[in-house]
Structure 1
Amino acid sequence: MIRTLFWRFVAALQFFTRLPLPRDLPQVPFHQSGAIGFFPWAGLVVGLLEAAVLSLALWLWPPTVAAVLAVAFVVLLTGAMHEDGLSDAVDGFGAGWDRMHILAIMKDARLGNYGATALILALGARVALTAALASELGAGSLFAALMAAHAVSRGAVLFPMLVLPYGRAEDTTSRAKPLVEELDYAAKLVATAGVLAPLTCLPPPVALAGLVAAAAAAAAWTRLCAHRLGGYTGDVLGAVQQTGEITFLLGILAAWKFI
């Protein structure tokens, strides 16, 4: 059992990062589908590494420069996977007029005006919020906040997966397809633990504000997908992660002003 959980965690890290991990997993499809519950745990690793890079950079440069370096590190670490999903999803919903057109635009590798604008705003928001964290929080709170942001935002991607069908069931080339198995009870418990673990390191009002903000963003994307697609796609999951991370950081920074 422990060995199975470990390999599922490794599969989640493989999916979300470019860390040098073993690529020849036994029963790869099985571990990929079981990796869903470990999405937040992979986020914990990404957040920990971002916080470490940010803390080291703050020794040499002011918060804004350090934040740029930390965010750039995360983009490299994840292969811009979530950023790509955000830009494709915004392009699709922004320019598409029906389900098939939206899906076709999302599948197109070219970047449109809507997607480019969303990408610039998202990266700018993450840099600004990370710099604000570095300026206002101590080292311990900084690590907790970034780890929680990445864990919660990756936990948020499970929301559309729980309530909507996969929108590209006919597409055998989709990278997300091996992961779109129904979440079992154990996976839900593992994912919940991964989301809650870093939140316990934050003041309860702060943790609640961030969690509610990220949940609201995930719910908004889910409603949009239900209305216009009748399901979700891998690109939408990337968009949920990006907006979840941003709204979580907005929530905790706002709440910190009142404690």
Structure 2
Amino acid sequence: MKQQLNLFFLALGFFSRIPMPAWIEYSPENLNRASRYFTLVGWLLGGLVALVFIAADYLFSNSISLWLAMAFSLLLTGAFHEDGLADTADGFGGAFMREKKLSIMKDSRIGTYGATALVMALLGKYVLLIENTQIALSILIAYALSRAVAASLAFDMRYVAEQDGSKSKPLANNQSKTDLIILLTTCLPVFFLLHWQQALLIIATLIVIRYAAKYYFQKQIGGYTGDCLGAAQQTSELVIYALLVVAIL
């Protein structure tokens, strides 16, 4: 049990700025195994953001409360996935050669493609959520399932970045089937939160998104990087919000 808690807290520390207990034992191998809990961490982070929205909604309008929740989310995660989206957009949009794309993605500066993608993603989240009648529930679901989609790509794709400083370097090893089963099984609470037909629609769409992302990344750079996983998470999150607007209305 202690080992599993250790893996969970490593996953939580990887995805958030929440301080970790002092007894946590870090190693690249442990972080590699911690990928099994990325969906579970998504439920926790989504729950925290949803709680901020609910609390703020007692004092402010929906629009202000949602803005506060989104700001809290960026602080909570350190804009981890948003950074990946921006870097991926810059790399894929700014070059034709694979090596040049990877070089641009490594650059910490943001370009036109990245800034545009980031603005549109944040604006898209706001618009799609403010049109939803169940904002807190949508945040909770999207945070969990989108991270499952992103993490699942590491199970059957080749890691292509060679830089030691890459955000997904410790996750580049092959995860076990057990890790994948746990990652996907922890998506099942969505069937208790939504009508089974709505949940099934979202799961089926995310499977399509997952394989579309895999095909796109393979075509662009022959595999994935940590930035690609961030882009997949952000894209999946937006798709979930769009589906939930239709499903919950």
Q: TM-score, normalised by structure 2?
A: 0.94
Confirm whether residue 160 of structure 1 aligns to residue 159 of structure 2: no
Show the counterpart of 2:188: 196
Match of 2:205 among 213, 220, 230: 213
Confirm whether residue 120 of structure 1 aligns to residue 119 of structure 2: yes
Structure 1 residues 82-110: Cα deviation after superposition (integer angstroms, max 9, x where no partner)? 00000000111111111101101100111
Contact 2:15/2:77 (CA < 8 Å) preserved in 1?
yes
Contact 2:202/2:240 (CA < 8 Å) preserved in 1?
yes
Contact 1:47/1:146 (CA < 8 Å) preserved in 2?
yes
Aligned residues: 249
Structure 2 distance, partners of 1:42, 1:164, is 22
Show the counterpart of 2:242: 250
What is the SS of the residue equivalent to 1:195?
Answer: coil
Describe how 1:131-146 pairs up with structure 2 within 5 A. 131-133=130-132, 136-137=133-134, 142-146=135-139
Match of 2:141 among 114, 132, 148: 148
Residue type of the alignment partner of 1:213? T
Structure 1 distance, partners of 2:44, 2:243, is 22
Gaps of 5+ in 1: none
Residue type of the alignment partner of 2:235? T
Query: Cα gap change, 1:123/1:26 in structure 2, threshold over 3 Å: closer, same or farther?
Result: same
Gaps of 5+ in 2: none
Query: Cα gap change, 1:132/1:27 in structure 2, threshold over 3 Å: closer, same or farther?
Result: same
CA RMSD in angstroms comes to 1.6
Structure 1 distance, partners of 2:26, 2:123, is 40
Structure 2 distance, partners of 1:31, 1:180, is 12
Residue type of the alignment partner of 1:252? L
Please state how far the C-alpha of 1:27 moved relative to its aligned partner.
4.8
Show the counterpart of 1:110: 109
Show the counterpart of 1:25: 24
What is the SS of the residue equivalent to 1:164?
Answer: coil
Q: TM-score, normalised by structure 1?
A: 0.91
Describe how 1:38-49 pairs up with structure 2 within 5 A. 38-49=37-48
Show the counterpart of 1:37: 36
What is the SS of the residue equivalent to 1:39?
Answer: helix
Please state how far the C-alpha of 1:31 moved relative to its aligned partner.
1.9
What is the SS of the residue equivalent to 1:200?
Answer: helix
Residue type of the alignment partner of 1:79? G
Please state how far the C-alpha of 1:245 moved relative to its aligned partner.
0.7
Residue type of the alignment partner of 2:186? G
